[in-house]
Structure 1
Amino acid sequence: MTATPTEITLHQKSKTLEVAFDDGARYTLPAEFLRVYSPSAEVRGHGEGQEVLQVGKRNVGISGIEPVGQYAIKITFDDGHDSGLYSWDYLYGLGRDQEILWQNYLSRLEKADASREPAR
C-alpha cells in the first residue's frame, strides 16, 4: 500500500522540500538531493548502468512544484531541469533511504573526482 502525502511544503530559504505522509512519516529533502536523484531519464538513463552523475548542484533550488494527478509531483529546479515525475512511492523511498543514498552520491562524486560545487 502506497503512503500518500498529507502535506508538501517548499522552504525556499533553506532550499528544502518537507513531505509528510499519511503513515506518520515526515521527511525534509534538500533541493540538491532531489535534483541529483531526479527520476528523469536525463539523470537515471534508460537502463542499469546508464545513470548520469550530476555534478555542481550544491546551490540548486526549487523554482516550482506542480501536482500530477493523484500520484506524483513535477519539480522545476532553478538550473532549468524540469523532467521526471516524483511519484509518492519514489518520494517516500528518497526520504526513507536519504542517508544511504546521499553517502552513495558523495562516494560516486569522489570516485569521479567531481564536485558538488558549481563550475565557475
Structure 2
Amino acid sequence: MAGLSPETPQPTDITVHQQSRVLEIGFSDGRSFRIPFELMRVYSPSAEVQGHGPGQEVLQTGKREVELTALEPVGNYAVQPTFSDGHDSGIFSWDYLYFLGAQQDELWQRYEARLREAGVDRDAPMAAAAASSCGHHH
C-alpha cells in the first residue's frame, strides 16, 4: 500500500470517544493523537471527498456533529470508519491517521481557508446538488 513503509509507526491502541467525538490513537513511536471525527470526515481519503484528481475535492460542510458509528479493520494496515451521515468509503491507513494527527492544526487552518474561499459556513448542510451528482456511485 502506498506510503506504508517499515518506518511507519504502528498503532498500539485506538479508542473511540463518542462523547467528545475524537479518535484517540497511540503509535509505536510513543506519540498519541486525538483526532476529531469531523477532521477525519472532512479529510476522508475516499473518492467521494477527494474527487478523482487534483482540484476535484468536494468541500465537506456540516460535519461538526458527525459521529463515528463503526470502525472496521482493513487488513493490518488501515481502518474503515462508518460515519453517522452514512459516509463509509474512506480507508484510513496508519500513516494517513498519523498524518492527520500530527498535522491537524495546519489541516484545520487549510479547511477554514477553503470554507472562506468558497464562502460557505462550516456548519452549512451539504448542498443537495453535490450529493445528487455524486451519490453512491461506488
TM over 0.5: yes
Q: What's 1:22 paired with?
A: 28
CA contact (8 A) 1:55 1:117 kept: yes
- 1:1-120 aligned within 5 A: 1-119=7-125
- The worse-fitting range, judged by mean Cα deviation, of 109-118 and 55-64 is 109-118
Number of residue pairs matched by the alignment: 119
SS in structure 1 at match of 2:15: strand
Select the structure that is richer in strand: 1
Runs of 4 or more off by more than 6 Å in structure 1? none
- Report the AA paired with residue 21 of structure 1: F
TM-fit CA distance, 1:116 = 1.8
SS in structure 2 at match of 1:28: strand
Q: What TM-score do you get using the length of structure 1 for normalisation?
A: 0.96
Query: CA separation in 2, counterparts of 1:118 and 1:6?
Result: 36
Unpaired stretches in structure 1, ≥5 consecutive residues: none
Aligned-residue Cα RMSD (Å) equals: 0.8
